[in-house]
Amino acid sequence: MTPIEPEDVVGRIYDAVADADRWPVALTSAGKLLDADGMLLLYCNMAVGRPQVVASVGFDGDVLAQVASRHIDDDELVRESMQLPAGEVVSRTFSLRDAGTRTTIFRRSLTHVTDRIRIAGAAAIRSSEVYASLWMARGESRPPFSARDLFTFTELLPHIGRAMTVHHRVANAELEATMAAGAIDRIAVGMVLLDAAGRAILTNREADRILDRADGLSIRKGTLYAADSNQTARLRQVIARAGGSDPECGQGDTTGGAAVRIARVDGGPPYHVVVLPLPRRCQPKNATGAVAVVFITDSERGQSPVDFLCGDLYGLTAAETRLVSTLLESPGLTAAAKAIGLSRNTVHSQLASVFQKTGTKSQSELLRLILGGIAPIRAPDVSSGFHTVFEDPDQPDD
């Protein structure tokens, strides 16, 4: 077998930067270079969590998952590596006489079970923001790691550190994208992000609901379509203007934006569609990301505020909150009383209390206050945080 060279390992480490699924390959080659029976790579975003396993080879997967679930940062060796400067090796050989290390998580749950009792590792990067460490292990029948082994190991650490710095940046970007997606799912207006070619790259939950109905608006091959061809053409024009690709717009003119009504197939009230450019600071210079956003309002669905928020904001009782919600759907006191199942006098008294608490004097003023405040916020449910990403808009329709 051809011996593996350090540069081969380094190359595979940087391959894993571009494709995290290749970390096992990189660790396998590192294990061969170091003559180790097991390799383990840990990572921690210090701002949000505890160390987690990025990849491993030579350890039982179920056992390792158990160790990770029991907070691997509680282990004596990991804690020591988090306190020492990056590159300073922590090395142990566990034995039955070593009572102190028998109590560690590594000893009880990982090394003893998998016969990888000779452990050496170090932080590859350690700062207030990010920690990553690499560990190598051998079985009890194998010799301890030599000075040469440890030297070779430390030669790999700077490359692991650079790779995990990139990993940290990507993980942070993905976390921020996930949080942003969860935030826009809280809005009761459909939102579609468009690229420079006018293709949808992300939709929120309300947009998914509208588009899935295909009642006047739909997405095909990543592109928004109206049921009416003339309205589709108008929609294209509005999107092109907002995205700066309309030939009638000046070079780099992204101030455009417009609105269009899209008729429903079922004859219901039309959708109100507003297309606006993203702020310049949010637009990618190479035009490969989102440049415009589409807001779709379903007037048939209405804008119902989250009931408990009304109560929190204005100190309304449950009965008063129910009345406000009913007035939004059934304007007029008589209609509201009928919908609630109470007498008009009772709801009149409740409404007087609502006026006093909200500082309003009429139903129209009250509804403007509510609709201008929390009405666009959608209540949480089990689908919170999910969004749709259109990764390949050129795929043919089924």
Confidence (pLDDT) at 262 = 93
- Return the minimum-mean-pLDDT range out of 240-244, 283-287, 331-335: 283-287
Which is nearest to 277 in space by CA: 291, 258, 259? 291
Angle (nearest 5°) at CA 87 between 85 and 88: 65
Paired with 292 in beta bridges are 194, 277
Give the helix/strand (H/E) hosting 68.
Answer: helix 61-69
- Return the minimum-mean-pLDDT range out of 4-8, 101-105, 271-275: 101-105
Averaged over 194-221, what is the pLDDT?
89
User: 307-371: what fold?
Assistant: Arc Repressor Mutant, subunit A (1.10.10)
* pLDDT band per the 50, 70, 90 thresholds, residue 98: very low
Q: What is the DSSP string of 103-157?
A: TSHIIIIIIHHHT--EEEEEEEEESSSEEEEEEEEE-TTSPPPPHHHHHHHHHHH
Q: Which residues of the chain does CATH 3.30.450.40 include?
A: 6-180
- Return the minimum-mean-pLDDT range out of 63-72, 78-87, 142-151, 244-253: 244-253
- Return the minimum-mean-pLDDT range out of 91-100, 106-115, 134-143: 91-100
Give the helix/strand (H/E) hosting 217.
Answer: strand 217-220
Q: Which two three-digit tokens encode residue 88?
A: 């300073």
Q: Which residues of the chain does CATH 3.30.450.20 include?
A: 188-302
Between CA 201 and CA 287 the distance in angstroms is: 13
Percentage of the chain lying above the pLDDT 90 cut = 33
pLDDT digits (tens, 9 = 90+) for 270-293: 999 988 887 776 666 665 566 788
Sheet with 38-45: strands ordered across: 52-57, 38-45, 130-138, 118-126, 90-93
- Tell me the HSE value of 25 on the side-chain side, using a 13 A CA sphere: 13
pLDDT at 352 over 60: yes
Between CA 195 and CA 366 the distance in angstroms is: 40
Which is nearest to 321 in space by CA: 366, 274, 283? 366
Alpha carbon 178 to chain centroid distance?
1
Q: Which residues of the chain does CATH 1.10.10.10 include?
A: 307-371
Confidence (pLDDT) at 195 = 82
Q: Which CATH architecture has domain 188-302?
A: 2-Layer Sandwich (3.30)
Confidence (pLDDT) at 329 = 77
CATH superfamily of 6-180: GAF domain (3.30.450.40)
Using an 8 Å Cβ cutoff, are 50 and 79 in contact?
no
Alpha carbon 382 to chain centroid distance?
16
* DSSP 8-state class, residue 6: H
Which is nearest to 165 in space by CA: 19, 12, 17? 17
Averaged over 118-124, what is the pLDDT?
89
Averaged over 316-321, what is the pLDDT?
90
Confidence (pLDDT) at 378 = 54
Percentage of the chain lying above the pLDDT 70 cut = 76
Which residues lie closer than 8 Å to 341 by C-beta, 6 or more apart? none
pLDDT at 156 over 90: yes
